Amino acid sequence: NYAFSLRADLCLIPEITDEFSEDLLERFYSLYDSRQMSASETLELLRSELQKLSGNLPIRRGESLTFVTRRLPYGFAFPEVPSTHLFKYPDLGIAVINGFAAEQPSTRGVGVSVLVDPETTDAPEIEAAEKLLRAHHVFVRRYQGPTANVRAVAEMVELFPYDLLIIATHCGDAPGYRWTYEFTDSEGIHRKLVVDIAIGVERTDEAEMLKVTQFLRFISLDGVDWHDPKKSDKLYVGTAMNDFVTRTRPGSADELKPVTKETVERVIGSAVLNMHDQNYIALPRPIANSGTPILINNACSSWHRLAGTFTFCNARAYVGTLFPIGTTEAHDVVVKLLGEHFWKPLPEALWLAQRQVYEDDVRRPYVMTGVYPQRLRVVRHNVLHHISTRLSRSLEQCRSDLHSVDPNDERRKKAITEVIRYYEREVTAFQQRWLRNSPIGGALSTPERDSLPKPQV
């Protein structure tokens, strides 16, 4: 149906194993770690391998490519035409619907934008992006320096009703811990499970209490590598993993503790984003106040895992990078994307921006996920009324949800209460800042920067 809607040819690519895909992505990620060949030579080799995997595709000037893939960035191998990607797992259909639905005539485009600059690295593109978006009459909210802390950004990513999110910071796999568990599963089998853990930490309203988010990667079970392609021939898994998840869940009656702990330099796949105070680990939850925004993650190696995570969270488009990038190129690509190519189809805009910045160089770090026919565009509407209404409705819904929660479910009650506090702060601050003297009418998206409520310490 997608191919038919675009009048496209449909070509089939042989299935690629997850193990091979992970190895290839790791070579992108560790581009500058190799001592055997230069970065350019490695990229040429990777492009050649991706071309072989995708077969003899009929590439013609003036056309485009959409790759349906589990994780491989095939578009990198075909710089001669615009390209985008759709993840076949976990829900290809919803990803297609989100992209097409956002381009219907009655939709708002990207009238509400959020920029995040924790100042952990030079990010001149944020200042440039704000000026360009304001010129397009986009409402801009900016988190910078101390206001771009883990708590503020995590709450915003999930709860604020934005249409476009641009992040500029360092992204990469974090150091962490290797924990070993020994237990008897529900089938009576003795198990030895090894996992790697990376953490993100954020403040809470409670004194001397922090909220910790964990990213967990399975390493081995009963001495067998969890990522061994022949794992199923060597290992009986049974109920082991379900038992582990149940017994390590907070509040478990039979809580499982690790028998040994050690540190590791890198937790593969953790893909944390450095905020001003700590690491932010994106979780697979609804984002943008249950919206379908466009995300531009202008951070090193930000396509790995995060493209899939945010697409699963209903981002209709995601632009990230395959390998580390420099300050100048990050600035130049964003400026061209939000400037002269703003109203063009997003894959074409990204393709044109990279052609102008990199010319004939094999270096093409940016990769896009999402349906082809969607654009960065602005539609005239009362953006202040839209934001205020969304915030107020969400606040009332959360208050209603709190009344229906089981009185004994303290964890659920606490989570909803925290969300209610967020919306109470936002509604009050937004109405005082914007709506006190603002007439209700056909206001165009305001070009003035939003003011943020002070962080709660």
Instruction: Provide the sign of the torsion angle of the four alpha carbons 66, 70, 72, 73, taken in this order.
Output: positive
pLDDT at 240: 96
Q: In angstroms, rounded to a whole number, what is the distance separating the alpha carbons of residues 126 and 117?
A: 7
Residues facing residue 220 across a β-bridge: 194, 225
Handedness of CA 370, 374, 375, 378 (dihedral sign): negative
Candidates 79, 72, 276; CA nearest to 169 is: 276
Instruction: Give yes or no for residue 170 having a pLDDT over 60.
Output: yes
pLDDT band at 387 (very low <50, low <70, confident <90, very high): very high
More confident residue, 457 or 221: 221
The strand ranges marked E within 325-422 are: 366-369
| pLDDT at residue 144 in the model | 96
Q: What is the mean pLDDT of residues 394-403?
A: 95
Q: How many CA atoms lie within 13 A of 352 on its CB side?
A: 16
On whether the CB atoms of residues 338 and 132 are closer than 8 A, the answer is yes
Q: Averaged over 198-211, what is the pLDDT?
A: 88
pLDDT at 249: 87
The reported pLDDT for the residue numbered 343 is 95
Q: Is the pLDDT of residue 48 over 50?
A: yes
Given this model, what pLDDT does residue 438 score? 53
Asked whether the CA dihedral 185, 187, 192, 198 is positive or negative, the reply is negative
Residue 354 or 62, more confident: 354
Across the range 82-91, mean pLDDT stands at 93
Cβ neighbour number for residue 275 with a 10 Å cutoff: 26
pLDDT average, residue stretch 399-419: 91
**pLDDT band at residue 192 using 50, 70 and 90 as cut-offs:** very high
pLDDT at 449 over 50: no
For residue 437, the model assigns a pLDDT of 58
409-438: average pLDDT:
88
From CA 169, how far away is CA 164, in angstroms rounded?
16
pLDDT of residue 286: 94
- Averaged over 247-262, what is the pLDDT? 90
Q: How many residues does the chain have?
A: 457
- Max CA separation in the chain (angstroms): 70
Estimate the crossing angle of helix 124-135 against helix 327-338, to 10 degrees: 10
Q: Do residues 456 and 409 touch, judged by C-beta distance below 8 A?
A: no
Report pLDDT for 381.
85
Average model confidence (pLDDT) across the chain = 91
Q: Quote the percentage of the chain above a pLDDT of 90.
A: 75
Q: Is the pLDDT of residue 138 over 70?
A: yes
Find out whether 318 and 369 touch, Cβ atoms under 8 Å. yes
Q: What is the mean pLDDT of residues 36-65?
A: 92
Q: Is the pLDDT of residue 34 over 80?
A: no
Evaluate if residue 59 carries a pLDDT over 80.
yes
What integer pLDDT is reported at residue 130 of this predicted model? 96
440 touches 385 (CB < 8 A): yes
Look at residue 447 and tell me whether its pLDDT is greater than 50.
Answer: no
Which residues fall within 8 angstroms of residue 277, CB to CB, at 6 or more apart? 146, 149, 150, 201, 202, 203
Predicted confidence (pLDDT) per residue in 292-318, tens digit: 999 999 988 888 889 999 999 999 999
Order of all β-strands in the sheet with 272-274: 171-172, 272-274, 279-280
